[in-house]
């Protein structure tokens, strides 16, 4: 049969045979003896992996020390996102190392939330050049969003609904009372405060500097309309959860 074949076909068949023989020899030589003993992997690697220290431990491990964040993630949009996705891993943490706190949140958050046609519609997406509004410089995401539960707070929409521009006034408040009105150090939380209480307290500061000279300094220049709009702004922000009592 081979005698009737052209010489160039015979040469091609010989080359194919040599290639298959070389491939089978290489497979036999390079394949680990324990490969496919238990499955499509090296069996000898299992003990080595078992003795290693896991780097990615998951949210459940983090909450043994950071349980105060549980209220943020337990029912929020990020409840399925493990802590290390944003904070990274550290072999020596928590004994001799700290996890990173993301600073460039625009780059981090846009990894999942930058608008792309392939992403599901139910996933919040933004066009960076148009967020928060066209022409404005995009600030860091945590300025307006709680990274642990981003859907709970949207101060941008609340500010936009105000009858006057409160951006400058709110920027003064955040220095002492937090970006989300959550309170900072000894300064009380403003988020969720009833507008009636807020207005009453601000009027007291305006009329009596002995209560707080610092607050009187900020309250005195405010008009009645500005105080009312500030009161509505903070009343619409979700109140911070109550602090846990010591056990």
Q: What is the pLDDT of residues 76-134, one digit of tens each?
A: 678 788 888 888 888 888 888 788 888 888 899 999 999 998 888 778 888 888 776 66
Task: Note the pLDDT tens digit of each residue in 196-210.
Answer: 889 999 999 988 888
- Domain residue spans of the chain: 102-143, 153-247
Q: Which band of pLDDT confidence, cut at 50, 70 and 90, is reported for residue 157?
A: low
What pLDDT is stored for residue 38 in this prediction?
A: 87
Kindly state which CATH superfamily the domain 153-247 is placed in.
Cytochrome c-like domain (1.10.760.10)
Question: What does the DSSP assignment read for 79-121?
Answer: TTS-HHHHH---TTTTTS------S-HHHHHHHHHB--TTS-T
Task: Note the pLDDT tens digit of each residue in 185-198.
Answer: 788 888 888 888 89
């Amino acid at each position: 049969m081979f005698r009737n074949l052209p010489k160039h076909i015979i040469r091609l068949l010989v080359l194919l045979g040599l290639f298959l023989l070389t491939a089978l020899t290489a497979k036999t030589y390079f394949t680990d003896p324990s490969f496919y003993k238990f499955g499509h992997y090296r069996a000898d690697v299992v003990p080595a992996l078992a003795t290693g220290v896991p780097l990615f431990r998951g949210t459940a491990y983090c909450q043994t020390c950071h349980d105060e964040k549980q209220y943020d993630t337990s029912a929020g949009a990020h409840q399925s996102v493990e802590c290390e996705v944003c904070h990274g891993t550290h072999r020596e943490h928590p004994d001799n190392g700290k996890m990173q706190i993301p600073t460039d949140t625009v780059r981090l958050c846009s990894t999942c939330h930058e608008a792309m046609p392939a992403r599901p519609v139910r996933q919040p997406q933004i066009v960076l050049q148009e967020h928060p509004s066209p022409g404005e410089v995009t600030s860091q995401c945590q300025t307006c969003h709680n990274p642990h539960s981003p859907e709970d707070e949207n101060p941008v929409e609340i500010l936009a609904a105000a009858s006057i521009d409160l951006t400058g006034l709110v920027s003064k408040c955040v220095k002492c009372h937090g970006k989300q009105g959550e309170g900072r150090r000894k300064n009380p939380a403003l988020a969720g405060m009833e507008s009636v209480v807020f207005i009453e307290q601000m009027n007291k500061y305006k009329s009596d500097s002995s209560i707080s000279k610092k607050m009187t300094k900020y309250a005195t220049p405010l008009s009645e309309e500005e105080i009312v709009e500030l009161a509505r702004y903070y009343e619409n922000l979700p109140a911070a959860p109550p602090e846990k009592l010591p056990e």
